Amino acid sequence: MKKSIPTPLRRLRREGLAFLAGSILGLPACVPGIAVAAPSTGASAAPSQEFPMKIRLQVDGQPVTATLDDNASARDFAALLPLSLTLTDYARIERIAYLPRKLTPAGATAGMPVKAGDIAYYAPWGNLAIFVESGDANYSGGLVRLGRVETGLPALQRPGPLKVRIERLPD
């Protein structure tokens, strides 16, 4: 479901920024041709594609498709794409790789059941985890579900290390 700001509110927000910037800089509120950019927060911009988002993982040349959930951590992960990683075996049921930076841990759980195909972020270590087998009822605290593998799970079930390229699929 697409969430968008109604046009009048977008215009109000845009014009409000122009008024605020004009006030600070001593400019009239409505100066044609002057565009005022919102200040940068230093955080990566949210991707423009809607969620849930389809992604492709190329695992040693074999395609795997997955869908990312609509949550803050998944959106933060999507902002890193495209991404090349090496997945290694961990605890027999998952393949892990460290990400270039930590993701927002919003939504981290005290423990969550994991199923084969779940894609998660382990906040305490800052790593991506793709589960290739189902785990205990409450596997581990600090996991945030990012999405789920839809097709091609056997490519990830092979022993690692596995070279993987992750990218968004076009709409």
Q: What is the pLDDT of residue 135?
A: 76
Q: What is the pLDDT of residue 108?
A: 76
Residue type, 14: R
- The structural domains of the chain, with segments of one domain joined by +, span 1-41, 53-168
Helix (H, G, I), strand (E, B) or coil at 134: coil
SS3 content of the chain, % helix, strand, coil (to 5): 20, 30, 50
Evaluate whether the domain defined by 53-168 bears CATH number 2.40.100.20: yes
Tell me the per-residue pLDDT of 118-151, one tens digit each, with 9 for 90 and over.
Answer: 999 999 999 999 999 987 666 778 889 999 999 9
Q: What is the pLDDT of residue 148?
A: 97
Q: What is the pLDDT of residue 49?
A: 55
Strand-pair partners of 66: 55, 149
DSSP single-letter state for residue 133:
S
Q: What is the pLDDT of residue 34?
A: 32
Q: Which ranges of the chain have pLDDT less than 50?
A: 1-48
